[in-house]
Amino acid sequence: MFTRRRRWRVPMGEEPTALDRRVMALESRGALVPRRNLIRTPEEIEGIRKSGVINTAILDLVGEKIHAGMSTLEIDEIVHSYTIEHGAIPATLGYEGYPKSVCTSINEVVCHGIPSATEILKEGDIINVDCTTILNGFYADASRMYVIGGTTPQKAKLVQVAKECLEIGAEAAKPFGFVGDIGNAIEKHAHKNGFSVVRDLCGHGVGVKFHDEPEVLHYGKKGTGMLLVPGMVFTIEPMINMGTWKVFIDSADGWTVITEDEKPSAQWEHSFLMTETGLEILTH
C-alpha cells in the first residue's frame, strides 16, 4: 500500500503553526494544497512589491506614449530603457529564446506578440502590452490593453469585458478557497457577454520565479484546483476572445499566439498577493 506524499510539510524541528495545521487538515481531506515554500516571506513580498512599482510605472509610461503610427519596436525600446535605467532587468529578454523585452499583441494576437519595426499601430487597433520586471531577483508581471484612437463598439466591449473578467476573478479569490473559483467566475462573465475564454494558457505563480505554481485557469468549476493560502503570489490574466476560444502558434516565429478564427482578443493581467482577507494587487 502506498501513501501519497504530502505537499505541505513542516521542516524537521519546527513546531506547526496555526496555518500549518489548517492546511494539513484540508490536505488530509483531499484538497490539493501548495508546497509550503510557495508561501512568501515578508521580505520576499516586499521585494516583489518593489519590482511591481517599476513594472507598473513602465505600463503607465507606455500609456502616455503609445499612439497610431508608432511601431511595436518603439514600445519595446521604451520598456527596455526604463527598466535598465531603474536598475532592473526585463524578464522576457532571452527567456527560452524570446528576443525582446516586452510582448505586444495586436487585435487577433492573443499573447506573446514579438515587437517589430515593421508592425505599425493603426487607428482602431487594440493592443496588449505584457511586461515582466526583475528587480534584485524578484519578479513582477502585468499587462494592459490600450485602444489606439477610436475603435469599433465590439472591440471596445471586448476590452472592457476582459478587464471586468480580471476584476471579477480577483473578487472570487478568497483565502482557503480554490483556484477553480477564479476561473468559474471569469468564464461565467465572459459567456454572459457573448465571448469565450482561452483554455490553452493560464495565470501562474510569480515572485521568486517567472512561472511557478499554481496554474490559474480562467475557466472551470468552483471548489477545484489548488487551495489558495495566504502568502501565495500569482497572476490572474484572462484572455477573452470575440469568437472561438481556440488558438494557434504562428509557425514563423514559434511565439505569437493567434485566435483560430482570427477575431480579436483582449487580456488584462495583475500580480496578486493572497492575504488573510483577500487579494492585494502587487502590480497592475
- Supply the pTM of this predicted model: 0.96
Residues 6 or more apart whose CB falls under 8 angstroms from that of 30 comprise none
In a domain, 13, yes or no: no
Would residue 136 count as lying in a domain? yes
> Within a domain: residue 228?
yes
Residue 108 located in a structural domain = yes
If you write DSSP's letter for every residue of 199-249 in order, what string do you get? SS--EEE-SSSSSEEEEE-SS--TT-SBB--TT-EEEE--EEESS-S-EEE
Q: Please give the pLDDT value at position 39.
A: 98
Total domains in the chain come to 1
Residue 192 sits in a domain whose CATH number is: 3.90.230.10
Residue entry with cell 488584462: 268
Residues in the chain where the model's pLDDT stays below 50: 1-3
Contacts with 47 (C-beta within 8 Å, 6 or more apart), sequence order: 135, 136, 137, 138
9: in domain: no
In a domain, 31, yes or no: no
Residue 5's pLDDT is: 73
Residue 154 to residue 3: CA distance in whole angstroms: 53
Structural domain of residue 88, as residue ranges?
A: 36-283
Instruction: Answer yes or no: is 19 within a domain.
Output: no
Q: Is residue 16 part of a domain?
A: no
According to DSSP, residue 186 is labeled H
CB atoms under 10 Å from CB of 247, counted, come to: 21
